[in-house]
Structures are given as structure tokens and as C-alpha cells.
Amino acid sequence: MIRARELKVAGWSLFNVLLGLVFAVGDRVFAG
């Protein structure tokens, strides 16, 4: 069984990776 704390950390890591990906793509798109 996964602990809530471990799940929270994994969730934040995944969220940060997705956020970085979105910013990278958006920056490339808007920059032209």
C-alpha cells in the first residue's frame, strides 16, 4: 500500500515535470 506522503511527493514531481514541459513548449511556440 502506498503512503499518502509518498503519493504526494510523486504527484508534485510529476506536476513539476508537466509544468516545465508546458512552459518549454509554450515558450517555443510564442517565441516563434
pLDDT at 7: 93
Look up residue 28 and give its three cell numbers: 517555443
Q: Phi and psi of 2, rounded to 5°?
A: -80, 135
Q: With pLDDT > 90 as the criterion, what percentage of the chain qualifies?
A: 81
Residue carrying the nine cell digits 503512503: 3
Look up residue 26 and give its three cell numbers: 509554450
pLDDT at 31: 84
Residue ranges in the chain modelled with pLDDT below 70: 1, 32
